[in-house]
Amino acid sequence: MTMDTISILFLLFLPFLCFLFILLPFLSSSSSRSRSNQAGKSTIGLPPGSMGYPYVGETFQLYSDNPINFFADRQNKYGPIFKTHILGCPCIMVSSPEAAKFVLVTKAALFKPTFPASKERMLGPQAIFFQQGDYHARLRRLLLRAFMPEATRGKVAGVEHLAVSALSSWDGHTIDTYQQMKIYAFNVALLSIFGKDEMLHVEELKKCYYTLEKGYNSMPINLPGTLFHKSMRARRQLGQIVADILSSRRRQRNAVASDLLASFMDPKEALTDAQIADNIIGVIFAARDTTASVLTWIVKYLKENPSVLRAVTEEQMEIIKLKEEGAEDKSLTWADTKRMPFTCRVIQETMRVASILSFTFREAVEDVDYQGYLIPKGWKVLPLFRNIHHCAHNFSDPEKFDPSRFEVAPKPNTFMPFGSGTHACPGNELAKLEMLVLLHHLTTKYRWSLLASDTGIEFGPFALPSNGLPIKISLKTTMN
């Protein structure tokens, strides 16, 4: 069979395959709900809302409009808990702090994390994202051990080197901010995972990962020539690269390392090579795009708010002046990063306004009663972080960019940029460090201008400024 014939057959069957991917989850969850009702387990009703058209639900409405407007319109119409049907799945949306806490913290055992099957195959089925129970707790403990402040403080010099190198390479150029921030965040992730001693494999690992990520949102059709097929091949190569690194590390029996790989390789943990590979690739996925997205929005908001940029720059210049008066070593230290309170508030406000993680997916593992509404087993449940972050009851004048609002701690469960509960991001300290270090050098040494007047938002799947925020950046002639 020739490639032309395969291509023709693929095109002929693609509509049918797409139909199946939309239909099967609907039928499965519908039948589950029907069985539950027949057995008399649940007599309470579903939340208000519309399930849209048969099979496709409200997916077309979601993607024909800004997703922010889609969720906000339905919240205004139905209240803080409502039902819909998107992406082939019946869903319950929750947009109150109390409901988000119920799903993510109070009754977290009743709502398992869920991802598309294709993404699970690409990252690896034994990665922490897809787990619950003892195995999840063990992985989380290992991640926290590698990313806690005590471990992160030793990475300041390495992160600073990467930040200085990145900014130097941008000097005098027009850049796609998001793409360049992704490269920076990727390098920080690799440093944290492997330390400084695995450079032999890094470029090959990067190349394979770039191929893998292109297929994250592709249709899971594993035929030669498709994005999914190329991504799965890259995934196998990544597994082999990690295996080679593990073998190399084991041969260095006297080596002492404090990176994430060493934490995973601790003999007492008894993780298999496959488990280690799945979680290494998963950490790269989690550490890269989200941090790069936040940094991209910070660059935009600082330029659009000159008084905020001036305050950040003044705070960072004070750190430089202190070093000029005292220490011989002018490099940043962990203590320096603790002298950046206003810059920290800028990061917090950016994460609130931009809400990179607009929502998260959970799936009910049994029928759940929440405030008199039924959440049926098998249905997806989406806590809507963006809606919570932009609610006037939680934050006054919520559309305004105002870092000073974080001088006072927000109300409980109203600010969840890293999620909440046992599945909250364990790497938030590292993410904060790499943002602070880059912003120190960016604001004190460089100036930049925005090259597009478009204020739109793209979703891919994280919220981003249009076109990745193109900017022109150059070194300041004087540091002021």
**Looking up tokens 């007047």, which residue turns up?**
453
Cα gap 200→238, rounded to integer Å:
14
Count other C-beta atoms under 10 Å from residue 173's C-beta: 11
Cα of first residue to Cα of last residue in the chain, in angstroms, is 67
Q: Is 91 labelled as part of a ligand binding site?
A: no
Cα gap 208→214, rounded to integer Å:
10
Q: Please state whether beta strands 380-383 and 89-94 pair in parallel, antiparallel, or not at all (unpaired).
A: parallel
Strand partners, 373: 45, 370
On whether the CB atoms of residues 232 and 222 are closer than 8 A, the answer is yes
Give the residue ranges of the annotated binding site for heme: 425
Binding residues: 425
